[in-house]
Structure 1
Amino acid sequence: MLGSISLDKTTRRVSLRAKALMIFSILLAPGCLGSDEEIDVFYGEDIVPPRATPDFVLFDQNGDPVAFNDYLGDVVVVAFLFTRCPDVCPQVSANMAWIGNELGDNLGTEVHLLSITVDPWYDNSSVMQNYAYDRGLEWPHLSSDLETMEPIWRSFDVGLETYANDTDGDGTVDGFDLCPDTPEGEQTDADGCGVETQQSEGDVQTMHHPLYYIDHTTGTIIVDRAGNQRVYWGDFVWNADMVLDDIMALVEESA
């Protein structure tokens, strides 16, 4: 449940997770696990075997270069988003902000947050700056050109598709269009519905969504101090308390 966490509760949860990690280390000893047995240490999905994160350099919302290897030695929480995402991305950002607040002095010392775009066609540093500023988000929001971004997406196992279909030709792509049969030539609102024939009274808007739609199958990945991707949390199954537990487990693991 979202909310403040007392020091006693934090200490207790870290202690319990530390014990789990100790058991995990013991189980890794030869002969303790069969080859077909799965290891489940974290509340999120364990990435087994851990996946190494290659170094990369992207630009933050201020236009400054950020190198991933600069964070080696600390735990890094990496989320993927795009600024025109209409649903889950703002919620993931809000969850990340809550995590940052709960981390207290650990944020920026033991743990770092990163948000990386999946829409380099639109999300330049200026756009990312506006997105972060409007929501009071202070950690790096990273972007670059498509050629730079693609190997990074692959290294985090990001699935990405873009859709530019506009069946009724009203200027709102099908992924956002709530009225796919708008009469030809009629002005539409943000949902792709005609302002003359497809509106409820008093509900008229004229701002369009972007001319393409992005579907990214990913989540938030927690990377350990050695740069290995260890935990995966899907965007739609986030539990902020448990994500925080997994982060603190990795902080404790190598402290």
Structure 2
Amino acid sequence: MRTAGRQVMRRLLCALLLASMLLLSGCLNVSDGQDTQKFNGRDYDPPITAPDFTLTNQHNTTTTLSDHSGKVVVVAFTYTHCPDVCLAVEANLYSVMGDLGSEYGSDVEIISITVDPVRDTPEHLANWTSEHGYTWPHVTSDNHTLLVELWNDWGVAVNNEHINSNHSENEGHENDEHQNDTYEVGHSITITFLVDRNGMKRVSWSGFDWSVDGLLTDIHTLMDED
């Protein structure tokens, strides 16, 4: 009896632990007590205003989020020297743009914001996007403080060591170019967001949970809203 009781207790503890982990990771939709979920990604309930920005794109012109009011906007935080997740996100965005067809540009926009402004200059972004065939805006800024504030406003955690270190200073480090190319930028997993026609942040996607079909479905769900 004691053994059976202990087994039951262990099962209960395991169930409670699993439920706690799911709640902490946002895997359970408990905001309204319903089992149905409107989006494939993690939804914001209630929606929150997407922080606006004006940054420099790969064509050395400005891109402003609020200029796309009335459209669904996909905002992704990536960087070109990323060894894994960011490159997969970028490739998926390319697939999304292709699958949208004529809806891209007229009803939907995509914007990629760098988390590595030291290396992702407009000139580098121009070369990199041209090489990969990525035509949507990839934006950066030489005002690193502005970018840090923007990352924080969007809830994207970024290790700023690459900005605070000598990587971002040219004086006395002219010969460090090749060495600087080797560092990685730590950032949070949730880096892709959907903004609705009213400029509200509605859905987020984690880097390891990317689904092109799922994101497309969420985009069309937002497009169909009144």
TM-score, normalised via structure 2 length: 0.74
Cα deviation code 1:168-207 (max 9, x no counterpart): xxxxxxxxxxxxxxxxxxxxxxxxxxxxxxxxxxxxxxx7
Q: CA contact under 8 A between 1:76 and 1:112: conserved in structure 2?
A: yes
Report % sequence identity: 37
**1:148-227 matches, cutoff 5 A:** 148-162=146-160, 210=181, 212-217=183-188, 218-227=190-199
- More displaced, 86-95 or 37-46? 37-46
The answer to whether residue 90 in structure 2 is matched with residue 119 in structure 1 is no
Q: Which among 79, 90, 99 is matched to residue 76 of structure 2?
A: 79
Q: Which residue identity is paired with 1:130? A: N
Q: Judge conservation of contact 1:163–1:212 (CA < 8 Å) in 2.
A: no
8 Å contact 1:114–1:141 — kept in the other structure? yes
Q: Distance in 1 between matches of 2:80 and 2:145?
A: 19
Q: In the alignment, which residue of structure 2 is the partner of 1:24?
A: none
* CA pair 213-72 structure 1, distance change in 2 beyond 3 A: same
Query: Which structure has greater helix proportion?
Result: 2
For the pair 1:251 / 2:223, whether they are aligned, the reply is: yes
For the aligned residues, what is the CA RMSD?
A: 1.9
Measured in 1, the distance between the counterparts of 2:105 and 2:197 equals 13
Q: Give the secondary-structure state (helix, strand or coil) at the position aligned to 2:128.
A: helix
Query: What are the Cα deviations for residues 9-64 of structure 1, in whole angstroms up to 9, with x where unaligned?
Result: xxxxxxxxxxxxxxxxxxxxxxxxx9763673101111122120132110110110
Question: Is the 1:125–1:143 Cα contact (8 Å) retained in structure 2?
Answer: yes
Letter paired with 1:69? S
* Mapped contact 1:162–1:212 kept (Cα < 8 A): no
Q: Tell me if the contact between 1:163 and 1:213 (Cα under 8 Å) persists in the aligned partners.
A: no
Could you tell me which residue of structure 2 aligns to residue 188 of structure 1? none
Q: What amino acid sits opposite 1:233 in the alignment? A: W
Partner of 2:33: 37
Give the SS at the match of 1:159.
Answer: coil
Task: Give CA-to-partner distance per residue, 1:86-138, whole Å, 9 cap, x none.
Answer: 11111111100000001011100100000000011221111111221111000
Pair 1:141–1:35, CA change in 2 (3 A): closer
Rounded Cα–Cα distance in structure 1 between residues aligned with 2:149 and 2:197: 21
1:76, 1:147 → 2: CA distance? 24
Tell whether 2:123 aligns with 1:106.
Answer: no
2: CA distance, partners of 1:40 / 1:154? 27
Residue 211 of structure 1 and its aligned partner are, at CA, apart by 5.0
| TM-score using structure 1 length | 0.66
Instruction: Map residues 6-45 of structure 1 onto 2, 5 A cutoff.
Output: 37=33, 40-45=37-42
CA contact (8 A) 2:112 2:137 kept: yes
Unmatched runs of 5 consecutive residues or more in structure 1: 1-33, 165-206
* Aligned mates of 1:209, 1:55 — CA distance in 2: 31
Counterpart code for 1:250? L
CA contact (8 A) 1:162 1:213 kept: no
* Aligned amino acid, residue 157 of structure 2: G
For 1:110, the aligned partner's letter is: D
1:36–1:75 Cα change, 3 Å: closer
How far residue 163 of structure 1 moved from its aligned partner, in angstroms, is 5.2
Say if 1:220 and 1:235, in contact at 8 Å, map to a contact too. Answer: yes
